[in-house]
Amino acid sequence: MLSNPCFTQANLCHLSDIEHTIKYASLVCRSPEAAERFIRLCETMADDLLRPHGYVLIAVSIVLRIRRTLSGEEIDDVIATKVVGFELASEQARRRRWQHRVANAGRFKSEALQRSSMRAATNQRVNGGRP
């Protein structure tokens, strides 16, 4: 692949990312239209793969902007820290939702008991004290 004259070290520095993409796609596709469809497919697949992990990508990019360079171990640490933080926040949110449901169930139960006792009192008055 790199034996192609378009991909020599001198030319790599002068080509934009879009030109690189087109050159790589032309290696696998016969027509420009097929290359365009292939590129769109690859972009969609990359988006589908990365979107669920956007919070990690943002964290890594912020740390990279601050430090300018990161080793593989440092990147792993940033990712692990962010994933653990995300999982903790997710668990806390799940527990808050559960507590809200428990509170709603308690209110529903007390309101149901009040309605039931009111109906019983009304029935006793209507039926002359008979249940």
Identify whether 88 is part of a domain.
yes
Identify whether 122 is part of a domain.
no
pTM score: 0.47
Residues of the domain holding 41: 5-103
Identify whether 36 is part of a domain.
yes
Rounded Cα gap, residues 65 and 121, in angstroms: 71
Rounded Cα gap, residues 71 and 44, in angstroms: 29
The Cβ of residue 126 has, within 10 Å, a number of other Cβ atoms equal to 9
Over the stretch 95-128, which tens digit does the pLDDT of each residue have?
999 999 988 888 887 887 787 777 777 767 666 6
CA atoms lying within 13 Å on the CB side of residue 39: 17
Please tell me the total count of domains within the chain: 1
Over the stretch 60-108, which tens digit does the pLDDT of each residue have?
889 998 888 888 899 899 999 999 988 999 899 999 999 999 888 888 8
Rounded Cα gap, residues 67 and 35, in angstroms: 37
Identify whether 62 is part of a domain.
yes
